[in-house]
């Protein structure tokens, strides 16, 4: 029997190359080896976008299109919308009783995101408690593996704490602990070189960008401010163009040679940007082509079918949880 994987994204905009190198490419490979569920986490996205729900609801369709465009196959991967699976909300409510405010405050991932968003003492309760919601998402599908970056490891640790406490208190084994499936790819830096590629910072190349948009973003990339002449030796560290070539150019030996050439001088920024543009255009062309051929009704049908399947699976876990709690009355 195949192991179950749960993964997903918050729909707060179109997906970008950082998503692709960090998780999407892996998901395409994993769908042939595992029973994979991919969640469009609209409820989680609303925790810090509650004043602009339209941004989230409109992005659900865009994210689904990106999933299909990169190669996720509905016949192999179940794609679903978080808010349309009521069992997840009920499980979250039960799990809330197993977590203290102090434990949530100590979660490093939550602490970092609170600081990044500048919430200070005005933290929405939904955002503060989203690790509990995430635990419900994972356990509802009895997921054994969860593809994450290392920054999300504290979230899985908290999920497993909830699992162990629930099973111990209610003398059951109905919930499973999960393990991380770490990506070997490092986070993709933004085109400005100041932070990781992000929708909120508008420093990313999107999977749905036109060829001209990609070209403009590549040629605006941060390189080495001291590399004023082609003949000058240049720095590779912190050079965004080389970071993207490392991530996406297939010929690693060529990239290594270009780095050495750049460091000793005689290689211009325009040359390496042209190569990166060609690399990205080649990679994105089939993704754009598949996206352009998508039919909205077909995408919505796929999401309906996937959500129905996900709801059925989550309800099985919910029934076991209710029985363990003693709240299954009929």
Considering the domain architecture, whether residues 269 and 308 belong to the same structural domain is answered as no
Measuring CA to CA, which residue among 263, 308, 274, 262 is closest to residue 37?
A: 308
- Check if the beta carbon of residue 152 is closer than 8 Å to that of residue 12: no
**Burial of residue 46, with CB atoms counted within 10 A of its CB: 0-12 exposed, 13-18 middle, 19 or more buried:** buried
What is the C-alpha separation between 210 and 272, in angstroms, rounded?
20
38/168 same-domain check: yes
Q: What is the pLDDT of residue 47?
A: 86
Residues 142 and 250 in one domain: no
The answer to the question of residue 203 being in a domain is no
Name the strands in the sheet holding 145-148, side by side, starting at the edge strand that comes first in the sequence.
Answer: 77-81, 35-40, 4-9, 145-148, 179-182
In a domain? residue 98: yes
Tell me the CB-side half-sphere exposure of residue 69, using CA atoms within 13 A.
28
Domain match, 74 and 172 both? yes
Same domain, yes or no, for 32 and 96?
yes
- pLDDT at 185 > cutoff 70: no
Domain contains 59: yes
CATH of the domain at 252: 1.10.240.10
Q: What pLDDT score does 18 carry?
A: 86
| C-alpha span between 2 and 179 (Å, rounded) | 15
CA–CA distance, 284 with 280 (Å, rounded to integer): 6
Range of the domain at 35: 4-188+296-325
Residue 184's pLDDT is 65
Q: Which of 5-14, 74-83, 145-154 has the highest mean pLDDT?
A: 74-83
Reading the block at residue 324, the tokens are: 């363990």
Cα(229)–Cα(241) distance, rounded to whole angstroms? 17
- Kindly indicate the confidence band of residue 111, based on its pLDDT and cuts at 50, 70 and 90: confident
DSSP for 20-65 reads IIIIIHHHHHHTTTSEEEEEE-HHHHHTTTTT-HHHHHHHHHHHHH
Domain count, the chain: 2
- Residues 180 and 228 both lie in one domain: no
Question: Same domain for 17 and 148?
Answer: yes
Which residue did the predictor score with more confidence, 11 or 278?
278
- Within this chain, do residues 165 and 263 fall inside the same structural domain, yes or no? no
Query: Both 149 and 45 in a single domain?
Result: yes
* Residue 120 forms part of a structural domain: yes
Q: Is residue 133 part of a domain?
A: yes
d(CA 260, CA 194): 24
In a domain, 330, yes or no: no
pLDDT for res 186: 64
Q: For residue 205, tell me if it sits in a domain.
A: no
Distance of CA 214 to the CA centre of its chain: 21
Span 3-30, average pLDDT: 87
Q: Is there a domain that residue 57 lies in? A: yes
Q: 223 and 109 share a domain?
A: no
Tens-place pLDDT, residues 52-99: 999 999 999 999 999 999 999 999 999 999 999 999 999 999 999 999
Q: Please tell me whether residue 5 adopts helix, strand or coil conformation.
A: strand
When comparing pLDDT for 123 and 161, which is higher? 161
Q: Which residue has the tokens 């939550």?
A: 110
Question: Are residues 148 and 226 located together in one domain of the fold?
Answer: no
User: Taking residues 42-52, what's their average pLDDT?
Assistant: 90
**Residue 261 parent element (H or E):** helix 252-264
Assess contact for 276 and 249: CB atoms under 8 A. yes
| CATH number of the CATH domain containing 85 | 3.40.50.620
Whether residue 48 sits in one domain with residue 174: yes
């Amino acid at each position: 029997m195949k192991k179950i994987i749960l993964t997903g994204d918050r729909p707060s905009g179109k997906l970008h190359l950082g998503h692709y190198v960090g998780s999407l490419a892996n998901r395409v490979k994993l769908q042939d080896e595992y029973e994979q569920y991919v969640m469009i986490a609209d409820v989680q996205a609303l925790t810090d976008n509650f004043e602009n729900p339209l941004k989230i609801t409109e992005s659900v369709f865009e994210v689904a299109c990106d999933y299909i465009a990169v190669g996720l196959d509905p016949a192999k991967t179940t794609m679903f919308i978080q808010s349309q699976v009521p069992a997840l909300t009920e499980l979250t409510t039960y799990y809330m009783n197993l977590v203290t405010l102090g434990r949530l405050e100590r979660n490093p991932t939550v602490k970092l995101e609170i600081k990044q968003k500048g919430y200070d003492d005005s933290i929405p309760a939904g955002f503060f408690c989203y690790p509990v919601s995430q635990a419900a998402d994972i356990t509802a599908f009895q997921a054994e593996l969860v593809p994450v970056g290392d920054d999300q490891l504290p979230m899985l640790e908290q999920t497993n704490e909830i699992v162990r406490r629930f099973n111990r208190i209610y003398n059951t084994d109905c919930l499973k602990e999960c393990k991380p499936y770490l990506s070997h790819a490092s986070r993709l830096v933004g085109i400005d070189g100041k932070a990781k590629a992000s929708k909120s910072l508008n420093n990313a190349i999107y999977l749905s960008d036109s060829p001209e948009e990609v070209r403009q973003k590549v040629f605006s990339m941060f390189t080495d401010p001291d590399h004023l002449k082609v003949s000058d030796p240049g720095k590779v560290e912190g050079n965004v163009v080389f970071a993207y070539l490392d991530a996406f150019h297939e010929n690693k030996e060529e990239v290594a040679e270009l780095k050495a050439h750049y460091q000793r001088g005689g290689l211009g920024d325009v040359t390496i940007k042209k190569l990166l543009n060609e690399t990205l255009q080649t990679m994105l062309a089939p993704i754009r082509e598949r996206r352009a051929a998508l039919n909205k009704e077909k995408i919505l049908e796929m999401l309906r079918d996937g959500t129905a399947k996900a709801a059925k699976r989550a309800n099985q876990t919910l029934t076991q949880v209710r029985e363990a709690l003693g709240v299954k009355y009929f």
